[in-house]
């Protein structure tokens, strides 16, 4: 009797029937449709495996025999006839038959190589399969778009109701000229352009976001209307905050949360969502925000008291995000991912919020793959997520500077103060 091993059973493993060791399985029939037979046992062959035409069973047997440490022996004359019905009975002679027809051990891939090839095959199959949005994703996107359109006025006509801007008429023209006329990239010129007015105004305001207790600042507190653009920026920001709140309240998953969690999410995301909404209006060629009949430059924020620690990275962010050329749906999904962040301070319903954010993120990823045709579409989702991360780093600095401005010139609206106040 031959020595049988349970590992040599004809029960096939996932590796046995994948065919990835030799690449994609070759056709087993010629043009005349004549079926091929295994050169080892006579069973129906599935293609060339390890340099010989074999069936799946003999292919798997040869791989296991070459990889395993077992030594086979035949109790007879070592010349058993191997057939489909008795191929399990003498492993020694079966292996010798495999070698005699030219099967080569060198063609057996390592487990790591097999897994790598399998991943490539899966990716190719996924690439060939059309990506479509599910009914649930379509429904979620439609709800978000409706909420956004009800709370975002593309005409910006309401901006005319704000207190007027006190603007240096030359600042915007100079900034636009530097942005378009420089030989540098628009991203770099945007930051440099934003910094120039800051330097000019620095003697009038706090020298840095962290040094606000100096004698000079204490003296400035006694003056009125240091930040001449602050009234307009307060009206503008308060208006945008109200719209963000209305956007969130229009979403069923948001309304289903506890009131404490709703407040925590809004406190954490409002600044980020406001900036995303403003980014829709950003002109990368001029370095300005075009809001209907009004145009804004970074100098306007400076004249409201904001400092380079925030203005410089914020300007760079707007260039980066706008150059992604997002459409309305992508902007809205990005805003929603920011809103439903389960790691905001004070959150209690982490599971529900995390689940919805994950679902929206998947919808954004699928939407990009469905609607975009450029090969760069696979980079767009991670770039959007990177922008979201960048916004988180600016959020704390924004809060710090708003409180600093209020300390110097107490005109910040109660709603703005409520948003930037820490969670109790």
- pLDDT tens sequence across 1-21: 444 433 333 333 333 433 444
Mean pLDDT of 136-150: 96
**How many CB atoms are located within 10 Å of the residue 251 CB?**
19
Lowest mean pLDDT, pick from 67-76, 218-227, 273-282, 315-324: 218-227
Mean pLDDT of 248-252: 97
The answer to whether residue 199 scores a pLDDT higher than 80 is no
Residues 301 and 307: their CA atoms lie apart, in Å, by 8
Residues 99 and 103: their CA atoms lie apart, in Å, by 5
In 85-199, beta strands by DSSP E? none
Mean pLDDT of 33-61: 91
- For 334-391, write each residue's pLDDT tens digit: 999 999 999 999 999 999 999 999 999 999 999 999 998 877 888 999 999 999 999 9
Lowest mean pLDDT, pick from 91-95, 112-116, 150-154, 417-421: 112-116
Lowest mean pLDDT, pick from 204-208, 247-251, 375-379, 404-408: 204-208
Domains and CATH numbers, the chain: 6-128 (3.30.50.10), 135-420 (1.10.565.10)
Residues 288 and 198: their CA atoms lie apart, in Å, by 16
pLDDT confidence of residue 13: 37
Residues 374 and 206: their CA atoms lie apart, in Å, by 47
Mean pLDDT of 122-138: 81
Mean pLDDT of 63-81: 86
The answer to whether residue 123 scores a pLDDT higher than 50 is yes
pLDDT confidence of residue 374: 79
pLDDT confidence of residue 16: 40
pLDDT confidence of residue 138: 96
The answer to whether residue 192 scores a pLDDT higher than 70 is no
In 139-240, beta strands by DSSP E? none
Please give the share of the chain, as a percent, with pLDDT higher than 70: 77
Mean pLDDT of 214-236: 72
Element (H, E) at 294: strand 294-296
**DSSP secondary structure code for residue 22 in this structure:** T
């Amino acid at each position: 009797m031959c020595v049988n091993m349970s590992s040599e059973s004809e029960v096939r493993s996932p590796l046995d029937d994948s065919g990835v060791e030799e690449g994609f399985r070759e056709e087993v029939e010629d043009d005349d449709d004549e079926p091929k037979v295994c050169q080892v046992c006579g069973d129906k062959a599935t293609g060339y495996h390890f340099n010989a035409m074999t069936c799946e069973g003999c292919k798997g047997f040869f791989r296991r025999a070459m990889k395993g440490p077992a030594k086979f022996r035949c109790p007879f004359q070592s010349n058993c006839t191997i057939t489909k019905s008795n191929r399990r009975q003498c492993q020694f002679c079966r292996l010798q038959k495999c070698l005699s027809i030219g099967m080569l051990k060198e063609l057996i891939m390592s487990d790591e190589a097999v897994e790598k090839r399998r991943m490539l095959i899966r990716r190719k199959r996924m690439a060939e399969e059309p990506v479509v949005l599910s009914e649930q994703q379509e429904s979620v996107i439609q709800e978000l778009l409706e909420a956004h359109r009800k709370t975002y006025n593309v005409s910006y006509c309401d901006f005319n109701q704000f207190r007027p801007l006190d603007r240096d008429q030359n600042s915007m023209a100079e900034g636009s000229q530097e942005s378009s006329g420089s030989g540098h990239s628009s991203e770099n010129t945007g930051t440099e352009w934003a910094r120039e007015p800051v330097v000019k105004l620095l003697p009038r305001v706090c020298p840095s976001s962290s040094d606000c207790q100096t004698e000079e600042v204490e003296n400035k507190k006694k003056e009125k209307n240091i930040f001449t653009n602050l009234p307009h920026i307060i009206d503008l920001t308060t208006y945008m905050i109200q719209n963000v709140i209305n956007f969130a309240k229009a979403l069923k998953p948001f309304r289903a949360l506890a009131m404490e969690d709703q407040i925590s999410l809004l406190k954490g995301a409002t600044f980020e969502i406001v900036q995303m909404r403003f980014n829709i209006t950003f002109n990368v060629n001029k370095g300005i925000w075009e809001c209907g009949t009004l145009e804004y430059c970074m100098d306007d924020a400076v004249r409201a008291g904001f400092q380079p620690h925030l203005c410089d990275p914020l300007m760079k962010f707007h260039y980066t995000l706008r150059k992604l050329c997002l459409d309305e749906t992508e902007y809205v999904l990005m805003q929603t991912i920011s809103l439903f962040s389960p790691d905001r301070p004070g959150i209690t319903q982490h599971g529900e919020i995390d689940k919805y954010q994950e679902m929206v993120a998947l919808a954004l990823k699928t939407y990009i793959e469905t609607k975009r045709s450029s090969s760069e579409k696979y980079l767009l989702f991670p770039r959007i997520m990177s922008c979201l991360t960048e916004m988180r780093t600016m959020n704390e600095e924004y809060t710090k500077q708003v409180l600093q401005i209020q300390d110097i010139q107490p005109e910040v609206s109660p709603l703005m103060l409520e948003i930037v106040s820490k969670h109790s």
